[in-house]
Chain A
Amino acid sequence: MSSLLRKIAAGSSKVFRRALLKRRKTDGTYEADWLDISKYVLKYGKVGSSIDAEYVGKIAFNAPKLVVSNFDGEFNDETEYSSLWFGYSARQRSIVKIEAGYVHETLSASGAWTVTEFPTNSSLFVGIIGGDILQGESDQITLDLKPLTEVFRQYPASNLTGFSTTGISASQFVQILRDHTDGSGNLIFRPFFGNTTTNFVIVTTTTLYPFLNTATNAELIEKDVWEVIEKLSIAEQYAPFVGGDGKFYFVPKSYNTTTAFNFSGLGYIDGTYGHTIKKIDSYGPRGSKYYSRVQVKFVDANTTSSYVFLESALVATGSNAPWYYGQKTFNLENLWIQSSATAQTIAQTLFNELSAIKNELKITTSFVPHLTILDKVTVDYRSTPALPESLWDAYNWADDSTINPTNVLYWDSSRGNSIILNGEEFDILAQDHDIDNFESSFHLRRQ
């Protein structure tokens, strides 16, 4: 019986990758079925996403540039007979899905092949064609794919409807954009997300935002929908992102609580998850993400009551973090935070995270397609058998008449770059999948 984990752990596995297309029909709706365009693809590129990876609050998506063969003009303008879009609407904002994973094939006695793909949902990226589609003389075209969040960027928040005079909550805001229409009953955003409400995963919030009372509120008038979502997410400590499965998630950062995978490498044998780490790109405490002080501004006026501060006291001792990392302030200004108490909660959450020195780990692995940001993982890696505890050799020639492992001959083979990780728990801040080379990379932060 095969499984995804067995395929990941196996020394040799068969893999697959597909690029699929949904064109917009002339009536403005999307075709029902995916068109497989894999045979035209020359280069897939990388797909990925990150949250808080470079700095706190930053959510980014790595969308691939799909290089396709255009020998017979399949990717030309929709007015050309040879184009895949002939008879359809413009190429821009066509939906593209990239799937990749492992394949298990077995031949039965009757001659029938059973072909099973892993993971069950092998979608790694769903996005739209954006940017210019330019032709050269190489018979190749590069499709500049954008993450689905782009459809939120391309719509002004002031065009939304469904606000309440008393304001609405963040989750209600996501609901109104989920259900938003052009005024004639045609949904604006939902068609990009499988045209179903179930592809909007929304965890309910309760705080009402008075700014969200009318579409013409000054706080909305110059913002696009994504900017509003980002503001709300910071205020709620939520993560808004499009999963590889094409669903839109508006969930707390603590959404995933179970350990999804164990990465293992040198010096550890893992019979379940296999040896997946190719190399450790970097490991260590991220002092650059350390802040001894958090300042949250939630009211526009420059008065003391507009701010909430939390800080670690600086004491000039050898064990005081502000003393050896410096007193650094993390500033967050979000006028959508509704009360001092809420600001205090946010500041406390940020302070707990930022004032602790945590190790971060960047690894390159073999293809591990099913993980996503916010997932929790563990790591086992033991680059040397002994801890590098002393410059002067921890284990010396000694009396062997007594059984004492610290007192017998033991040659310390540890090196300066020894990394010892014993099932340590990390959160995934960022991930990238190189679809051309079936290689993954992860940026992890200690829990």
Chain B
Amino acid sequence: MEFLTKSHLVTSTMIVINSNTTVAENIMLRDKRQQYISSGFNNDLTSTTIQINFDSTLAVSRIALIGINWKSFRVYYNGATASTFALTTTAATTTSNWSTNSETSMFLSATEVNCTSVSIDILSTQLADSEKVLGYLYVGSLLNDFDRIPSANNFTPTIAPKQQAHTLSDGSTRINTVSDKMSAKIKLKYIDASFRNELKATYDLREDFVFVAFPTTTGWDEFMFPCVWPGAFDGYTFSDNAAVSGFNISIDLKETLP
């Protein structure tokens, strides 16, 4: 369970792509149905590259790929294909280079590097000779790594739709759904002052950030969203009468636009 920096990808002008540039900005939106799809690259012998250029040197240690159909691809930095990321979590490879991927989403945790660009070469697709697609791309770094996860009772992840329900003249109901938004309620007990202060630092940013619940490279549940932390910070509440017992904190995260 992690809090991450706001994605380094903040404007469509940072994206350099080979084709279909008008839909490139879709990769900034968490909704994977609004995806980038290549045009004229439906051939496994023809690769395409998505490159994200930063205005300055930035730290990168976390990359999320949601809604992909890639079989063979590599992720690297500073434009050098050899500069792949060193993955720190169990994955099919130890570097960000895949030849027979079958996942449609993955979260990459890597050794942090400072770089000015991140590139993805997409070489082939899982269904041969398809256009290459990408639903959502996150590129950033770690803010807080929870040293322990909350109990099941104290973690409430929710996907809540924005809906209008119409009761029709015969009593039946019709629903219009505008969009689905993620949210999460987290309660932690007995956390130490050090971790409390890390969370306070994130709270004090007064900026949106990104929450990912259980990041993994295989079988990922994709529960990740750019969020805000509205309301009060209550991490100074003692867990018990003995100060050494630590602190309790309640965190209510709401999805925001990237």
A438 and B68 form a contact (CB under 8 A)? no
Inter-chain contact total with CB atoms closer than 8 Å? 89
Top 10 A-B pairs, shortest CB-CB distance: A111-B69, A110-B130, A265-B169, A266-B169, A438-B176, A12-B175, A15-B176, A366-B166, A110-B127, A113-B33
- A: residues with CB less than 8 A from B are 10-17, 39, 105, 107, 109-113, 115, 265-267, 275-280, 366-367, 381, 437-439
Which one of B32, B164, B169 contacts A277 once the chains associate, using CB atoms below 8 Å? B169
B178 at the interface (CB under 8 A from A): yes
User: Is the beta-carbon distance between A39 and B257 smaller than 8 angstroms?
Assistant: yes
Extra pairs beyond A11-B175, A111-B68 (6, CB < 8 Å): A14-B178, A16-B178, A111-B104, A112-B69, A113-B32, A438-B166
Q: Is the CB of A275 within 8 A of B125?
A: no
- B181 CB, min distance to chain A CBs, angstroms: 13
| Chain A residues within 8 Å of B176, by CB | 12-15, 366-367, 438
> CB of B174 within 8 A of chain A?
yes
- Beta-carbon contacts of B159-185 to A below 8 Å, as 1s and 0s? 000001011111011111110000000
| A15-B176, A367-B176 known; A111 vs B127 contact (CB < 8 Å) | yes
Bound complex: CA of A143 vs CA of B127, how far in Å? 49
| Interchain nearest-CB distance for A105 vs B (Å) | 5
Contact partner of A112 (CB less than 8 A), chosen from B34, B35, B168, is B35
Instruction: Write out the residue numbers on chain B whose beta carbons fall within 8 Å of the beta carbon of A381.
Output: 169
Task: Say whether B133 faces chain A, with CB atoms less than 8 Å apart.
Answer: yes
Compute how far the CA of A437 lies from the CA of B133 in the bound complex, rounded to whole angstroms: 33
A439 lies within 8 A of B178 (CB): no
**Can you sample 11 A-B contacts with CB below 8 Å?**
A13-B176, A14-B178, A110-B130, A111-B67, A113-B34, A113-B135, A115-B33, A266-B170, A277-B169, A438-B176, A438-B178
Q: How far is the CA of A367 from the CA of B32 in the complex (A)?
A: 26
Q: How far is B169's CA from A121's CA once the two chains are assembled, in angstroms?
A: 29
A115 CA / B257 CA spacing, docked (Å): 20
CA distance A10 to B35 in the complex (A): 25
* Contact (Cβ within 8 A) B177 A12: yes
Known: A112-B131, A265-B168, A439-B166. A17 touches B69 (CB 8 A): no
Interchain CB contact under 8 A, A278 and B125: no
Which of B67, B127, B169 is the one whose CB lies under 8 Å from A280? B169
Nearest residue, chain B, Cβ from A276: B168
Q: Which A residues are in CB contact (< 8 Å) with B133?
A: 110-113
A438 touches B125 (CB 8 A): no
Interface residues of B in 124-177 (CB under 8 A from A): 125-127, 130-131, 133, 135, 164, 166-170, 172-177
Tell me, yes or no, whether B37 is within 8 Å of chain A by CB: yes
Min C-beta distance of A390 to chain B, whole Å:
26
Q: In the assembly, what is the distance between CA of A275 and CA of B167, in Å?
A: 11
B151 to chain A, nearest CB (A): 34
* Nearest chain A CB to B256 CB, angstrom units: 10
Contacts of A112 in B (CB 8 A): 35, 37, 69, 130-131, 133
Choose one: A17, A115, A275; the contact of B178 (CB below 8 Å): A17
State whether A105 touches B125 (Cβ < 8 A): no
Question: Given contacts A13-B176, A115-B33, is CB(A438)–CB(B164) below 8 Å?
Answer: yes
Chain B residues whose CB sits within 8 angstroms of the CB of A438 once the complex forms = 164, 166, 176, 178
Query: A395 to B197, alpha carbons, bound, how many Å?
Result: 81
CA distance A439 to B167 in the complex (A): 11
Q: Which residues of A contact B177 (CB under 8 A)?
A: 12-15
Complex CA–CA separation, A111 to B172 (angstroms): 35
**B86 → chain A, closest Cβ, in Å?**
28
Q: How far does the Cβ of A438 sit from chain B's closest Cβ, in whole Å?
A: 4
Known: A277-B169, A366-B174, A437-B164. A110 touches B69 (CB 8 A): yes
- Say how far A34's CB is from chain B's closest CB, in angstroms: 13
In the assembled complex, the Cα of A381 lies from the Cα of B67 at a distance in Å of 45
Known: A110-B125, A110-B131, A111-B125. A15 touches B168 (CB 8 A): no
| B93-128 with Cβ < 8 A to chain A | 104, 125-127
Interface residues in B51-104 (C-beta closer than 8 Å to A):
67-69, 104
| Cβ–Cβ < 8 Å partners of A113 in chain B | 32-35, 37, 67, 133, 135
| A108 CB → nearest B CB, Å | 8
A387 and B37 CA atoms in complex are apart in Å by 58
Expressed in whole angstroms, the minimum distance between the Cβ of A122 and any Cβ of chain B is 14
Docked CA distance A13–B169 (Å): 18
Closest Cβ–Cβ distance, residue B23 to chain A (whole Å): 10
CB contacts (< 8 Å) of B257 on chain A: these are 39
Cα A113 to Cα B31 in complex, Å, equals 11
A198 to chain B, nearest CB (A): 24
Interface positions of B from 20 to 48, Cβ below 8 Å from A:
32-35, 37
Report the minimal beta-carbon distance from A39 to chain B, rounded to whole angstroms. Answer: 5
On chain B, the residues within 8 Å of A107 by CB distance are 33
Which of B166, B168, B170 gathers the greatest number of chain A CB atoms within 10 Å?
Answer: B168
In the complex, what distance in Å separates the CA atom of A275 from the CA atom of B168? 7
Q: State A367–B130 Cα separation when bound (angstroms).
A: 37
Contact of B126 (CB < 8 Å), options: A11, A111, A280, A437? A111
- When distances are taken between beta carbons in the complex, the residues of chain B under 8 Å from A367 are 176
- In the assembled complex, the Cα of A128 lies from the Cα of B235 at a distance in Å of 49
CA distance in complex: A265, B166 (Å): 13
